[in-house]
Amino acid sequence: MQPNIGVSVKSLPLPLRKAAEEFLGRPIEDDEMLAMYTYRDSEPQRELSQEEWERELDDFIDLFPQTPLLSGEAISRESIYTREDEML
């Protein structure tokens, strides 16, 4: 990350200014200066082929936790509209 020190709030696009105010939790005055950091990738990104893109997407999906599906009883109408104290 490389710092860009002394960015004037006046020069920020409105959506970025609003995001900064939300992050800080307060309004930003026009005469304030902000330090902003940017990330520069060391190598340019190349475009992936269709097969590479699908493989990357499959690898990403595999990172999600595997949870069991709900049973038929868990999503039945009777189960949805029954109060917990009536089930005991």
Q: If you write DSSP's letter for every residue of 22-36 in order, what string do you get?
A: HHHTS---TT-EEEE
The three-state secondary structure class of 50 is helix
Q: Is residue 88 part of a domain?
A: no
Q: Is residue 22 part of a domain?
A: yes
pLDDT at 42: 66
Q: Is residue 64 part of a domain?
A: no
Of 12, 4, 48, 49, nearest to 30 (Cα)? 12
Is residue 18 within a helix (H) or strand (E), and if so which, with residue range?
A: helix 14-24
Q: How many domains does the chain have?
A: 1
Least confident span in 24-28, 29-33, 37-41, 56-60: 37-41
Residue 53 token pair: 């893109």
The reported pTM is 0.34
Which has more confidence, 22 or 12? 22
Question: Which residue, chain included where needed, has tokens 């949870």?
Answer: 67
- What is the span of the domain harbouring residue 29? 1-41
